[in-house]
Amino acid sequence: MAGNPFERETLNLLLFDWLRIDTLAELPAHQGQDVADWTAVLNLADRVSKEALAPAWRASDRTEPELRDGVVRVEPGTRAAVRTWLDAGLHLAAVPEDEGGLSLPFTVAAATMAMSMASHIAAASFPMLSVANSRVIRTFGTAAQIAAFAAPQQAGTALGTMCLSEPNVGSSLGDVATRAVPDGHDDLGPRYRLRGTKMWISAGGQDITEQIVHLVLAKAEGPDGRVISGSGGLSLFAVPSVLPDGRVNDVAVTGLNHKMGWRGTPNCVMAFGEKTGAQGWLIGTEGQGLPIMFQMMNEARIGVGIGAAALAWRGYLTSRSYARERVQGRALDARDAPDPVPLTRHPDVRRMLLAQKAIAEGSLAICLYAARLVDLSGAGDEEAETLLGLLTPIVKSWPSEMGLVANHMAIQIHGGYGYTRDFEVEQIYRDNRLNPIHEGTTGIQGIDLLGRKMLFDRTGGLDLLLRRISETADNAPDDLAGCVTALRAARKALEEGVAAAHDMNDPAAALANATQMLSAAGHVVAGWLLLDLASTERAGEGQKLACRYFSQFELPQVRAWLAPVVAKSDLTATLNEDAL
């Protein structure tokens, strides 16, 4: 391993000094816990990440999972790493105590995830998917279903998946073609036979645990053999790979997708019910499939943001240590100097390091801030819930999009070496390239932000955000006055952009430019939190530098992104497709 994939000191600064998570110990859910406990948990995650996960990361890229005799073989080091992670019980962190977990704050769990994902994002995604899966079952399942499907995942003897997409259905889940035919009723509730093909199923097959619990989105047939069209007809089913009586269920991995990165997690084409029909049990009620999945989306999307932030960190730290050691060229003002200078002496390399630092810290700040909102809203804080709703599409997409910009610079700093597979940065970039795609593409997030969270919003989310930004600006120290000015200007531009979108009185037309709004709003939020972080008493010179860089070089882009929104551009809405 070339370097430390993560900077623990900065993580601690964010958690304990900036977010003051010690105050979360006062919430009823975390009674009796304290900072010392959470530090011990973070230390555990830190060690497991460095000692068990990180060493398997490279091998997982070179030895892709294999489908042999119907079984998906995960790269052995990765298999062992996931096992160690589960044995350490890290997947139980945020599970409530009365449901078999430890009731730690979600913010702490998010921080453990950040360290794990920086070390080996593909290994970390097995438990991450499983945590989301068992949470669905615990929230919406019956006691018998929880015992059969969630408990083994919590015990580490099963892992879970989310089977939503199909070969022809990605972002438009209403068109799902998998069918579920009623097949009686037993202890586990209404039973069905499922038939259909699922696509892009991460960890759909693996040889880490015997049991795999698939959560499958399908359409239940009515007595007349028909299904309800659109997303209202979707239901959710728990389909175990091994049935309660020990027989193998009619679920098969029929192929593996060969990915650009993130290769340690097998990505599967799944056939449900090719023979007798896959047995599955209804979770919740018929037609509730999509609303159930949406309940889980907030945290899944924070998870994506954290992965992207973690990889931005890793690229930044990797290219920083390279730039400090690598000597090349002379300083611009001393061209005849006898010896070459470290890369860090060149202003353009410094720019790229600073940009990565701002993106990495900004991304992590956004994700952890949102994680804290999850904890606060769970304790009944309505403002936190409102703000979380507005921020979620940004939490998912800003680190994903900007993390790639950061990784691009990490490669650039390495020059030709960065383009070879002898250095880590190319894998970091390839791994990270998934993040703008899964759990709702950037385009979907833009529509969510400008549509549901701004144009059709009744919760006052935007006003709350604007107010919080002003509070940070009002309270910033004098030495950050330049950042305050830049943030206020960006805030104003955002306000005007949203007003222009409202003013169109035509949501469909306005949403054509939704991604522009998402980019702009993401930058405003990042600028806000970087200033808020840099204003923290214990923040160092580095945090102030990142904030200044972001204010001078990045925040001016907000107005540029919003130009087509303010101009009410209909270019993409009305163009002639044949001319594309």
Partner 1 sequence: MKVLVPVKRVIDYNVKVRVKSDGSGVDLANVKMSMNPFDEIAVEEAIRLKEAGTADEVIAVSIGVKQAQETLRTALAMGADRAILVVAADDVHQDIEPLAVAKILAKVVEEEGAGLVLAGKQAIDNDMNATGQMLSALLGWSQATFASDLKIEGEHAVVTREVDGGLQTIKVKMPAIVTVDLRLNEPRYASLPNIMKAKKKPLDEKTAADYGIDVSPRLEVVKTSEPETRQAGEIVPDVDTLVAKLKEKGII
Q: Which of the residues 197 through 256 are near partner 1 (CB under 8 A)?
A: none
Output 109 or 373, the one with its CB closest to partner 1.
109
Cβ atoms of 185 and 213 within 8 Å: the answer is no
Shortest Cβ 118–partner 1 spacing (Å):
14
**Pairwise CA distance, residues 76 & 192, whole Å:** 35
User: Please, which residues bridge with residue 66 across strands?
Assistant: 73
The distance of closest approach from Cβ of residue 196 to partner 1 in the complex, given in angstroms and rounded to an integer, is 37
Burial 380-418 (b: 16+ CB within 10 A, else e): eeebbbbbbbbbbbbbbbbbbbbbbebbbbbbebbeeeb
Query: DSSP code of 556?
Result: T
Of the pair 295, 321, the CB lying nearest partner 1 is at 321
* Other Cβ atoms within 10 Å of 248 Cβ, number: 11
User: Which phi and psi (to 5°) does residue 332 adopt?
Assistant: -55, -30
Half-sphere exposure of 180 (CA within 13 A, CB side): 28
Q: Which of 209, 214, 221 is nearest to 180 (CA)?
A: 221
Stretch that binds partner 1, among 14-22, 34-42, 179-187, 369-377 (CB under 8 A): 34-42
Helix axes 481-503, 557-566, angle to 10 degrees: 10
Q: Which stretch binds partner 1 (CB under 8 A): 35-43, 121-129, 411-419, 548-556?
A: 35-43
CA atoms of 315 and 381, how far apart (whole Å): 36
Task: Answer whether 272's CB lies under 8 Å from 239's CB.
Answer: yes
- Residues 157-196 close enough to bind partner 1 by CB under 8 A: none
Closest separation between CB of residue 18 and partner 1, Å? 16
Secondary structure class of 560 (helix, strand, coil): helix
Residues touching partner 1, count (CB under 8 A): 22
- In the list 28, 36, 69, 294, the residue contacting partner 1 (rule: CB under 8 A) is 36
Binding residue (CB under 8 A) for partner 1 from 27, 39, 64, 151:
39
Q: Does residue number 22 form part of the binding site for partner 1 (CB under 8 A)?
A: no
- Which residue, 50 or 263, has its beta carbon nearer to partner 1? 50
Identity of the residue, 33 or 435, whose beta carbon is nearer to partner 1 in the bound complex? 33
Distance CA 195, CA 180 (A): 7
Site for partner 1 in 41-100 (CB under 8 A): 41, 43-44, 47-48, 50, 84, 87-90, 92-93
Alpha-carbon dihedral angle through residues 266, 272, 274, 276, given to the nearest 10 degrees: 140
Q: x-or-dash pattern for partner 1, window 98-137, by CB under 8 A?
A: ----x-----------------------------------
Applying CB under 8 A, the span of 33-41, 295-303, 374-382, 394-402 interacting with partner 1 comes to 33-41
Name the residue nearer to partner 1 (CB basis): 43 or 257: 43
Pick the stretch among 32-40, 64-72, 490-498, 517-525 that binds partner 1 (CB under 8 A).
32-40
Q: Candidates 8, 58, 83, 350: give the one binding partner 1 (CB under 8 A).
A: 8
376: contact with partner 1 by CB under 8 A: no
Q: Which residues face 193 on adjacent strands?
A: 181, 279
In the bound state with partner 1, the residue whose beta carbon lies nearer, of 154 and 356, is 154
Among 317, 304, 320, 516, which Cα is nearest to 399's? 304
Beta strands in 203-250 (DSSP E): 211-220, 234-240
Q: Does 520 bind partner 1 (CB under 8 A)?
A: no
CB of 326 to partner 1, least distance (A): 13
User: Which residue number, 32 or 347, has a Cβ lying nearer to partner 1?
Assistant: 32
How many angstroms separate the CA atoms of 10 and 301, rounded? 23
How far apart, in whole angstroms, are the C-alpha atoms of residue 551 and residue 357?
A: 13
Q: Which is nearer to partner 1, 48 or 164 (CB)?
A: 48
- Which tokens go with 377? 């809203």
Closest CA to 280 of 352, 193, 372, 409: 193
Residue 345: CB minimum distance to partner 1, A:
15
And the tokens for 362?
């900004």
Catalytically active residues, by annotation: 439
Residue 108 Cβ vs partner 1, minimum distance, rounded to whole Å: 10
User: Smallest distance from the beta carbon of 334 to partner 1, in angstroms?
Assistant: 18
Does 402 sit near partner 1 (CB under 8 A)? Answer: no
Report the nearest approach of partner 1 to the CB of residue 372 (Å): 20
10 CA to centre of own chain: 20
Task: Name the residues that contact partner 1, by CB under 8 A.
Answer: 4, 8, 32-33, 36-37, 39-41, 43-44, 47-48, 50, 84, 87-90, 92-93, 102
